[in-house]
Chain A
């Protein structure tokens, strides 16, 4: 299998359907499983939470909650009971989906191919390398941004924001374009940033995997295999930072955007 084929094979979703009505089964199943994992662990934790002396795992979860709520307090004016759980969900879910990137790139596809018996079966395990996932979250956040913009500022205020912002009443056409770009760029930047980072990270993992796959033939393996291990480890440690950072950025930007939507003086 050639290099290009290998990479393309890895970057193709396992899908059914045609055209728009295509469903990327791997993306859906993995992301749903991870979401279910969050709910399951949370529900199990919920049965044994203690008020006085929390145990180790509860402490860990509480520290995440504390971290999220500190960020919400810092970046979000006023009070909205939806923001904190939303931010927490984004952080946990995005982090877990990103974390799939750290599982060796060939492991899960290989296992899947063994199970199905089809050596060419596709499986793309990282849901955040699928633009559908990141856009889904970004559009949901965008819907909330529009909703709160209208709820807080009123329909008139929302239209005024388009007409008179940012250059005042003498540049209405320019303002409309600018505000439109500003608003639309919010979900797009959210989705594309996460997608781009994860996609690139996955690609680098694939390239590193190729070192052992295509170059290590015969005696050369003695040199290339350790190099692959070293590079893999280095990129893995770096990527561990990246996945956390990306989850954090997605969360903070969501809070900030929604905070701007709640800002009446905008």
Chain B
């Protein structure tokens, strides 16, 4: 139980053991644990960052969607406007066409009427001549009286 040279051996053993423990146990394991801690911390911060980015992206997506909706609304209203314009235009054109057709018909009718009148006039002229011939019981020189007949026909 007395103090003796064992003390010296034990001191050497202790110093060597501290050196060994530092080399094979503390050194590698604490380094490993530190690395793992760092990795976990990095992972957590990355996750946090990812979450934040997701939030931002969601917000952006919402904005884009909103804009797209507004644009669609805009396009829709424009199209509506345009369609009503087209309809209006078509209406106007149809009216014009109708007027034109009406006018053409009117003109034709008038032409027809004047031609009928002309025919009638000629008919009347020949009737008149025939009538006059019958009244005068003698032949009228058609050639001699043509001028007079012409003026007569015109006066009808």
Residues of A bordering B, CB below 8 Å: 11, 13, 15, 17, 19-24, 27-28, 31-32, 35, 38-39, 42-43, 45-46, 49, 51-52, 61-62, 65-66, 69, 82, 84-86, 88-89, 92-93, 127, 130-133, 135-137, 139-140
Q: Give the residues in chain A near B18, CB-CB below 8 Å.
A: 85-86, 89
Interface pair B15/A140, CB less than 8 Å apart: yes
Is there a chain A Cβ closer than 8 Å to B137's Cβ? no
Known: A84-B26, A85-B21, A137-B14. 13 other contacts (CB 8 A): A21-B5, A39-B17, A42-B20, A43-B24, A46-B29, A51-B32, A66-B33, A85-B26, A89-B18, A133-B10, A135-B10, A136-B7, A136-B13
What separation, in Å, do the CA atoms of A69 and B51 have in the docked complex? Answer: 33
Bound: A32/B7 CA distance, A? 13
Q: Are A84 and B30 in contact (CB under 8 A)?
A: yes
The residues of A that contact B14 with a CB separation of less than 8 Å are 89, 93, 136-137, 140
Complex-state Cα separation, A51 to B40, whole angstroms: 11
**Contact of B32 with A23 in the complex, beta carbons under 8 Å:** no
B5 close to A49 (CB less than 8 A)? no
| A21 CA / B5 CA spacing, docked (Å) | 5
Would B11 and A139 count as touching, CB distance under 8 A? yes
Distance A43 CA – B26 CA, assembled complex (angstroms): 11
A49 to B33, CA, bound (A): 10
Given A28-B13, A86-B18, A139-B11, verify A22-B5 contact (CB < 8 Å): yes
Given contacts A23-B4, A65-B26, contact A49 B21 (CB under 8 A): no
Q: Closest Cβ of chain A: how far from B29's Cβ, in Å?
A: 6
16 contacts between A and B (CB under 8 A): A15-B6, A20-B4, A22-B2, A23-B5, A42-B21, A49-B29, A84-B30, A85-B22, A92-B21, A130-B1, A131-B3, A132-B6, A135-B7, A136-B6, A136-B10, A140-B15
Asked if B134 is an interface residue, CB under 8 A from chain A, the answer is no
A38 to B20, CA, bound (A): 9
* Residues of B bordering A, CB below 8 Å: 1-11, 13-18, 20-22, 24-30, 32-33, 35-36, 39
- Other-chain residue from B6, B20, B28, B29 in contact with A39 (beta carbon distance below 8 A): B20
| Contact A132 B7, CB 8 Å, known A49-B32, A89-B17 | yes
**Interface contact A65-B7, CB-CB below 8 Å:** no
Residues of B within 8 A of A89 (CB): 14, 17-18, 21-22
Closest to B27 in A: A85
Q: Which residues of B contact A45 (CB under 8 A)?
A: 25, 29
* Contact between chains at A31 and B13 (CB < 8 Å): yes
Q: Which residues from B are CB-within-8-Å of A132?
A: 3-4, 6-7, 10
For B9, give the chain A residue with the smallest CB separation: A28
Chain A residues near B1: list those with CB within 8 A.
11, 13, 130-131
B6 close to A35 (CB less than 8 A):
no
Say how far B82's CB is from chain A's closest CB, in angstroms. 65
| CA distance in complex: A140, B3 (Å) | 15
Known: A88-B21, A93-B17. A62 touches B33 (CB 8 A): yes
Give Cα distance in the complex from A50 to B15, angstroms.
29
Contact residues in A for B6 (Cβ distance below 8 Å): 13, 15, 22-24, 27-28, 130, 132-133, 136
C-alpha gap A52/B32 in the complex (Å): 9
CB-based contact A35/B13 at 8 Å: yes
Given contacts A21-B5, A39-B20, contact A46 B10 (CB under 8 A): no
Inter-chain contact A46/B24, CB cutoff 8 Å: yes
A39, A52, A86, A136: most-surrounded residue (chain B CB, <10 A)? A136
Specify which chain B residues have a CB less than 8 angstroms from the CB of A46 in the assembled complex. Answer: 24-25, 28-29
A144 CB to closest chain B CB (Å) equals: 10
Q: How far is the CB of A98 from chain B (nearest CB, A)?
A: 15
CB distance from A50 to the nearest CB of B (A): 8
Contacts of A66 in B (CB 8 A): 33
